[in-house]
Structure 1
Amino acid sequence: MLTRSIFVAVAALSVAAGAAQADDAHRFGLLEENDSLYTSYDRHYTQGLRLSYLSPDLAARGSLNAPFDLVGGLLPIFSDAGSAARPRRIAVFLGQSIFTPQNTAVAAADSRDRPYAGWAYLGASLLQESNRGMLENLEFGIGLVGPGALGKMAQNDFHQFIGADTAKGWSGQLHNEPGVMLTYERLWRLPLVEVAGLGVDIVPQLGATIGNVFTYGAGGALIRFGRNLQADYGPARIRPALSGSDYFDSAHLDGDLGFYAFAGVQGRVVGHNIFLDGNTFRDSPNVERKIFVGDLQAGVSVFWSNAVQMIFSAVHRTSEFDGQRSPDVIGTASVAFSL
């Protein structure tokens, strides 16, 4: 189900907030992912909603640098603390994801299809850019899988509201289980061509996630064509997905208007996916997970300085488990604005 009313309301608010353009502004984002956004499907990863906040650039010696310095003292990341060429930001986020089998009209669980599950979470990211060409993202998330994530309520209440059929099999969803994830990734922005204010770049990416919700390694790249590509490293996504981030920096823009078309690919080696493997410590529905999964993504981004940005894309995801009848197509839409 698509939270269209929420998205439209926030989009309208973002336009009203267009006067905030300083790089020290506070940035807010709303991301919607839904398999029926651009298609008529309602299956598998069927809904994701994510709200985020991105801090202004941290002062070089401010107290919020402490987490970066602590991690940097233990691991070979977040080097050259306090350098003007390495701006830092903190992002916080919360969200909910919903998973269902392909056939939601029957109450009995199908052992050949993925189980029902909800996932509600919150988390934080430490983001550091180096020399306007490399971004590090260390992210920690914590949440709840199971009935306490309110997946059944979110899906069926919305379906009742719009007059659509409700999903019948939520009584067989995964059990309640606390979930944690730790992710580290690097993204590089490599300019290829720039002519008359328009450019082409490629954003390679490598990363890994560990936890009882997801464990996987990932690698991929995004190619972009447009104007003011240096503002970000591609669109944020809900994990697991082609890597992007909440990071945005308008300090070096050439004029306020920015836009780009993008296409990307990511491959993942999946060691664990609770929404396919089932609960960690209790018997629960499950299917045979595939180890190799890939995403293909294409879309457009338009922004006016850091005041407002809107992104629309479609994702083709390869089969995630044995017996999956066809790949999935996921629509995404997001808006971000500064206050």
Structure 2
Amino acid sequence: MALRNTQLPAILFIICIWCGAISVSYGQANTDKKFQNQISASTINDNFLPPYQDYYFTNGLHLSYSRLVNSDFFLSNIMSGEQRKQILRFTLGQEIYTPRLIRAQTIANIDRPYAGYLFLTSTLDTFWRRQNYLQLGLTLGVIGPSAGGEQLQKKWHKWFGFPQPLGWQFQIQNLPVANINMDYKYSFPLSSSADIISNTGFRAGTAFNDLSAGAKLRLGDINAIDHSVATASQLQKKGKDTPADHHKKEWFVFLGVNNTFVLHNALIEGNTFDSTKQAYIKEAEPYLLTISGGFEYALPVVSWRLVMSQLSPEVKGGRRHNIVRVSMAVRF
């Protein structure tokens, strides 16, 4: 018998709890070790919470490998200071986007294009003076049929008894993705159990061009951002000069707000330089507000993140959208 929409989030939740129990037990047994490598996985979906609807950002899967590198790897003269750290990260991801009405077969009822997105991102995260964080990144990939979004969504819906999407003929056609990004964060300590992390950044390239700024409030048993689950920076080398908080677990709740000023979004508007080859495109909203909250927990060997976000409409005439990200990372 096919699974109902409401059954899938419950099944995934049980699997996460089971994996978490194993990971926590393993993590408690390895608290004396130092770890310089990390693998992590994130699933992003709008079907984890009521009303269990499947539209807009409908699914995402990210797999990452991170490696602690020599602190003189890059920009050592510019960002000098105590407690300097650099982490090199590679992320392979696939994302699927659909209109609100996936059963619609006419343009009049398609409020955003279907789109598959497959990418590989390389980033260098630099931390200095325990409060500064700079990420520089390069993303290469493809948006369109070659990304496999149509095939994956149709198989997923067939396996779990979901309604089949009927409008993939309105998807964004193949276009290359070559983007750079920069993100800078700064931590403002409020007390030993609270801080505010500001962020500013931009993306530029063939697919995404935007500016962003925001802030996040953390409350709980927090670490500095150079060794926190908040910035995926728990990797460390052996040494007597390791700060004390690098050896303790971390947990906190958070609430964040992010403002994005959109210049171009190829997932909605097609190619940045030539959109005339697209069968169907829409106009992206120039401003996007994202409100996020959640819980993050880390032991020396394992960490978990649960992030719930609400996005303002991304397309003209669109609706707000809720998505959930569940992430797990293991260090070795």
TM-score by length of 2: 0.85
Distance in 2 separating the partners of 1:207 and 1:220: 9
Query: What whole-Å deviation, never above 9, does each CA across 1:23-75 have from its counterpart, x for those lacking one?
Result: 4331111111111112312111111111111112x2345xxx2xx24xx78xx
Q: 1:109, CA displacement in angstroms?
A: 3.4
User: Equivalent residue of 1:301, what SS?
Assistant: strand
Which position in structure 2 is the counterpart of 1:303? Answer: 298
Report the AA paired with residue 107 of structure 2.
A
Distance in 2 separating the partners of 1:210 and 1:28: 27
Alignment of 1:243-258 (within 5 A): 245-249=231-235, 251-254=242-245, 255-258=247-250
User: Equivalent residue of 1:184, what SS?
Assistant: strand
User: Equivalent residue of 1:148, what SS?
Assistant: helix
Query: What whole-Å deviation, never above 9, does each CA across 1:132-165 have from its counterpart, x for those lacking one?
Result: 1100100111101011101011111111111111
User: Equivalent residue of 1:229, what SS?
Assistant: coil
Report the AA paired with residue 42 of structure 1.
D
Distance in 1 separating the partners of 2:244 and 2:61: 29
| Contact residue 116 and residue 169 of structure 1 kept, 8 A | yes
Which position in structure 2 is the counterpart of 1:139? Answer: 137
Q: 1:214, CA displacement in angstroms?
A: 1.0
Residues 283, 111 of structure 1: CA spacing in aligned structure 2 closer, same or farther, 3 A cutoff? farther
Distance in 1 separating the partners of 2:227 and 2:54: 30
Which position in structure 1 is the counterpart of 2:261? Answer: 269
Do structure 1's residue 320 and structure 2's residue 314 form an aligned pair? yes
Distance in 2 separating the partners of 1:118 and 1:10: 29
Q: 1:256, CA displacement in angstroms?
A: 2.6
Alignment gaps of 5+ in structure 2:
1-7, 237-241
Report the AA paired with residue 295 of structure 2.
V
Residues 183, 135 of structure 1: CA spacing in aligned structure 2 closer, same or farther, 3 A cutoff? same
Alignment of 1:29-44 (within 5 A): 29-39=40-50, 40-44=52-56
Q: 1:322, CA displacement in angstroms?
A: 1.1
Which position in structure 2 is the counterpart of 1:291? Answer: 286
Report the AA paired with residue 206 of structure 2.
N
Query: What whole-Å deviation, never above 9, does each CA across 1:277-322 have from its counterpart, x for those lacking one?
Result: 12343233111211111100000011112x1111112101111121
Residue correspondences, number: 311
Which position in structure 2 is the counterpart of 1:239? Answer: none
Alignment gaps of 5+ in structure 1:
236-243
Residues 245, 48 of structure 1: CA spacing in aligned structure 2 closer, same or farther, 3 A cutoff? farther
Among 76, 85, 95, the alignment partner of 1:87 is 85
Q: 1:10, CA displacement in angstroms?
A: 6.5
- Aligned-residue Cα RMSD (Å) equals 2.6
TM-score by length of 1: 0.84
| Contact residue 46 and residue 98 of structure 1 kept, 8 A | yes
Alignment of 1:169-180 (within 5 A): 169-180=167-178
Alignment of 1:98-109 (within 5 A): 98-109=96-107
Among 202, 206, 217, the alignment partner of 1:208 is 202
Distance in 2 separating the partners of 1:12 and 1:53: 22
User: Equivalent residue of 2:106, what SS?
Assistant: coil
